Amino acid sequence: MDLRARTKQATREAIGQAALRLAIERGPHGLALVRVHDIATAAGVSPRTYNNYFSSREEAICAFQADQSRRAGQALRSRPAGEPLDQAVTAAVIGLYTDPEPDKAGLRMIMMTPELEGEALKAFSMAEGPLAEAIAARTGTDLARDVYPAVMAAAVTGAVRVAGRHWLESGTTESFAAVLRRTLACVFSTAPPAASVPPAPPGARGDL
Amino acid sequence: MDLRARTKQATREAIGQAALRLAIERGPHGLALVRVHDIATAAGVSPRTYNNYFSSREEAICAFQADQSRRAGQALRSRPAGEPLDQAVTAAVIGLYTDPEPDKAGLRMIMMTPELEGEALKAFSMAEGPLAEAIAARTGTDLARDVYPAVMAAAVTGAVRVAGRHWLESGTTESFAAVLRRTLACVFSTAPPAASVPPAPPGARGDL
DNA sequence: GCACTGGTTGCGTGTCACGCATTTTGTGTG
DNA sequence: CACACAAAATGCGTGACACGCAACCAGTGC
């Protein structure tokens, strides 16, 4: 990667970070108050340059999450070949989304702000394509004819989203990785939990 | 429903239909050429009124799909109580999305136009909430504590999206209902297809 | 050192979302 | 039936925005 590409990447990340930071500062309610001019200034760049990279504030704010999702395919491919699909996917996803435990404020902003809903879904769903390819490769299925890989990929990204929501909304003390493990387990074991009271940590007060 | 609500609903649908129709006419590439003024005029309302119903062209174009998804919960609830979850969900989803076989041009516009991607995902994901509630009710799980219902709901809506893509992209002659059945089967049976060559209709040329 | 490719910036334009005030159209009551 | 009230439709004005275009500047390769 030459200087050009590196600075370009840096600019993109700077704008994205600035956008997310400002959004968090102004709060989910004052999102409309985050002006393009502010983002650009905070990132040390002209407004015109800002929209050479992004065509909407929403896109800039969710850029980090989108970049993250783009790496999903590679994460799965880097798992050992013999590993069963469910274990490989679980390990890959957990590694990808919890390498540093995600920033709760940022995740909350992205996932819980109505105006960002579309972009957030887009950001997470960017993992689907690469994931589907990797799953197809791993299971020896044909992405063009079999629906299995794409369905699994969609289910997995759905599980990631649900894990995020649950981690944010329910006042759980679990790590994000633990919640992810639970949601992914749902995807890979069809049976509904016998009743309620599922993998809550033994001894924990279930009703809190 | 009194006159007020009915006319309001009618206006909403008129605007949505006009928006989708114009988008299809101008083609996926000329989407930017669909002006708010055109949609409003086509729907027989003022541009300002259009804006009372939708806050973006994308939202108007995807309105029908969104309304459809909103009915998912009710569709599942209306299945007989004793029916196993997988059968109930499959029947409900197929009934909901293939009551009339969907319009291919419209679905293609919504699902395959990059500019609409966010709104399309939003439209489909609107089924998740109601679906999750209905699934929780049916399985006796607790939406607040168990992740199972939400994960399944997300997986199901993902399967619907994948079915739509597959139905549009692969030059299949299957009905949409048939494709849906296949994708939903993936969700409810964890095992990957033994090899390739899955439920292609017996005797059909697999390589076309 | 020099031409070139590619990124940044400023400017101008057409479009848009939305607040506010006004008019029109249903709804319920005496 | 007339009238007061609620709700929706409309017109206008404003601030913001996305993007095309052209000038400029900084790495890159010969």
pLDDT digits (tens, 9 = 90+) for B124-180: 999 999 999 999 999 999 999 999 999 999 999 999 999 999 999 998 999 999 999
pLDDT digits (tens, 9 = 90+) for A57-116: 999 999 999 999 999 999 999 999 999 999 999 999 999 999 999 999 999 999 999 999
pLDDT digits (tens, 9 = 90+) for B68-97: 999 999 999 999 999 999 999 999 999 999
**Strand C close to A46 by CB, under 7 A:** yes
Q: Is the pLDDT of residue A203 over 70?
A: no
Residue B23 burial by Cβ neighbours in a 10 Å radius (0-12, 13-18, 19+): buried
CB A140 within 8 A of CB A165: no
pTM: 0.91
CA distance B137 to chain A (A): 11
The length of chain B is 208
CB B66 within 8 A of CB B126: yes
Give the dihedral of Cα atoms A168, A169, A171, A172; nearest 10 deg. Answer: -60
Only one residue has tokens 């209902």, namely B177
Q: Is the pLDDT of residue B197 over 50?
A: no
In this predicted structure, what is the pLDDT of residue A162? Answer: 98
The length of chain A is 208
Distance CA B148, CA B141 (A): 8
Dihedral over Cα of A87, A90, A96, A101: its sign = negative
Name the average pLDDT for chain A: 91
Instruction: Determine contact: B114 vs chain A, CB below 8 A.
Output: no
Other residues' Cβ atoms within 10 Å of the Cβ of residue A15 = 25
In this predicted structure, what is the pLDDT of residue B194? Answer: 59
CA distance A3 to chain B (A): 31
Query: Is B145–A179 a contact, with Cβ atoms under 8 angstroms apart?
Result: no
CB B97 within 8 A of CB B161: no
Other residues' Cβ atoms within 10 Å of the Cβ of residue A130 = 19
Instruction: Write out the two tokens for A74.
Output: 């590679």
**Strand C close to A112 by CB, under 7 A:** no
CB B76 within 8 A of CB B131: yes
